[in-house]
A and B are shown apart, each in its own frame.
Chain A
Amino acid sequence: MSHEAPHHVAPGHDAPHYLAARVQRALAEDERTYELGIRVDIRGDQLFLRGQVECDERRRLVAAVAEDTAPGLRVHNEVTVVEVREPGEEEAL
């Protein structure tokens, strides 16, 4: 018994355009990530992730969700962890 999705997969369904959109949507909606600001680009069999997250673990999870959503693609995790510096000078308004 197959556990594959029952819907018919039309030709072109896995065009990079749609696959990138699915990965971006998964990053926003998967409870492991809930990341809305990650850019996803696919070139050939390479998937590129760009953006910022708050810590190393969240950076790792972004790649994990992308790999689960687009198996077979090589994921390049270019997401960075936000570096938070000391508060700077005040601005007089």
Chain B
Amino acid sequence: MAILSPRRLIYPFTVEQVYSLRTGQFVLVSGLVFTGRDRLHKYLYEGGACPVNLREGAIYHCGPVVIREDNSWKVRAAGPTTSTREEAYLPRIMQEHGVRVVIGKGSMGRVMAKACHSAGCVYLHAVGGAAQVLADRVVAVKAVHFGEQFGLTEALWELEIKDFPAVVAIDCRGRNLLQRVMNSSARARDKLLESGEKVVS
């Protein structure tokens, strides 16, 4: 019944908040988050200077649609992008910058589970494609970095969010919900192939 009683996570994400989370729990995240995707991860991994302090912060894997209107930024769409692509970069970034929360979507395996365990970090899974529901939870655009260098999609956006919904996919103990689903679906497939009737052309 984790769904019925969501846990609230509020920035800065302290050790206490994050350690109490368990895979499968439903959470609502509020406060500051930093978006980043492929170019930012490669840049930080290679030792690039970070213009913001990521300590006790969250990286949100997202390339938002943002337009300039009346001299301010307006988020038109802001769902998660696939986190799997950043798995190789993340352990070093999490360790060096003290990141506590990664928000995104898609499978992450042993590398990320191990990194979450050793860095005291969680991986939160948002609903892929839910660009409008999630854009509505962005209450303010604080700043943008690397807009020119990486383009607006790949830029680092400082977003203030409120009650952003997600599910704990990897917790601080390194337990991995997606891996568990993957393993049980592979067993179910094997069973279907062993016992199922063969297709006749």
Asked if A and B bind, the verdict is no
Instruction: Enumerate chain B interface residues (CB-CB to A < 8 A).
Output: none
